Amino acid sequence: MSDPLIEAVRPPTKWYVVLRPFKGDRAFVRGEVVDVTGWTHLTSLVQNRYVDALPHGAEVPDENADGIRIIELSKEQARKVAPKKRPIPKREQATSS
């Protein structure tokens, strides 16, 4: 569900920031700024916090050599990002009969 108040005050934009990596027609990485024109599942991606609108007034980064636009974090900002936590698989105990 979308919040009508947020929709009323947020300026429309075609630029969104990838918050969590995911695969669509290609792999998208955290911090990437993408043009979402024509995306059919944008609302679902926003609701599940995979992407969010680029904040009003923020500059769209230039493309790198690979044609990708990435927001570069300062060292101080990068330190605030929590490290990835991967689940540790548990072995199932073999049942003896």
Rounded-to-integer distance, Cα 27 and Cα 24, Å: 6
pLDDT in tens, 37-89: 999 999 899 999 999 999 888 899 999 999 999 998 888 888 887 777 666 66
User: Which structural domain, as residue segments, surrounds residue 52?
Assistant: 4-70
Task: Report the number of distinct structural domains present in the chain.
Answer: 1
Whether residue 79 lies inside any domain: the answer is no
Ramachandran angles phi, psi of 16, nearest 5° = -130, 155
pLDDT of residue 15: 96
Which residues make beta-bridge pairs with 70?
32
pTM for the model stands at 0.73
Q: Which residue has the higher pLDDT, 20 or 9?
A: 20
> 90 pLDDT exceeds 80?
no
Whether residue 93 lies inside any domain: the answer is no
If pLDDT is split at 50, 70 and 90, which confidence band does 2 have?
A: low
pLDDT of residue 80: 84
